[in-house]
């Protein structure tokens, strides 16, 4: 079985400060990992993904995430937060060897960047 956890419902950060949104996962084999962002009344937008290779993945809008196999984590980071980064962020996982099983999403973390 595969699962993903986002332990924080809400993350507050001041504009200009670094931000981290946490994600941990559980799969029986190796994972494909994704981050998506959802702005109010919009669909999900892809930010970045880890498939294989470099553990540090760079994505859209200055976001990056680090795959840590030993800690089964894929935390999303940005060095300097913008007010416009305020949104709902979803981590998702799929087991590489899982056949037709679907992508599993976390419950989401609401990021609020305060000016």
Partner 1 sequence: DTAVSQTPKYLVTQMGNDKSIKCEQNLGHDTMYWYKQDSKKFLKIMFSYNNKELIINETVPNRFSPKSPDKAHLNLHINSLELGDSAVYFCASSQRQGRETQYFGPGTRLLVL
When asked if residue 5 is in the footprint of partner 1 (CB under 8 A), the reply is no
Binding of partner 1 by 108 (CB under 8 A):
yes
Which positions from 49 to 88 touch partner 1 by CB under 8 A, shown as an x/- string?
x-x------------------------------------x
Buried-state track 18-38, b at ≥16 Cβ within 10 A, e below 16: ebebbbbbebeeebbbbbbbe
Answer yes or no whether residue 100 interacts with partner 1 by CB under 8 A: yes
**What's the closest the beta carbon of residue 85 comes to partner 1, in angstroms?**
17
Q: What is the separation, in whole angstroms, between the first and last Cα of the chain?
A: 41
CB of 114 to partner 1, least distance (A): 21
Q: Considering only residues 3, 7, 16, 46, which one is a binding residue for partner 1 as defined by CB under 8 A?
A: 46
Contact positions vs partner 1 (CB under 8 A): 32, 34, 36, 38, 41-46, 49, 51, 88, 90, 94, 96, 100-103, 105, 107-108
């Amino acid at each position: 079985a595969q699962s993903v956890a986002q332990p924080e419902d809400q993350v507050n950060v001041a504009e200009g400060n670094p931000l981290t949104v946490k994600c941990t996962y559980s799969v029986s084999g190796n994972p494909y990992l994704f981050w998506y962002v959802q702005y109010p009344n919009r669909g999900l937008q892809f930010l970045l993904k880890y498939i294989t290779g470099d553990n540090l993945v760079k994505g859209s809008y200055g976001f990056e995430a680090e795959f840590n196999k030993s800690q089964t984590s894929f935390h999303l980071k940005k060095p300097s937060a913008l007010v416009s980064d305020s949104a709902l962020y979803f981590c998702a996982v799929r087991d590489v060897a899982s056949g037709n099983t679907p992508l599993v999403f976390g419950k989401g973390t609401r990021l609020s960047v305060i000016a």
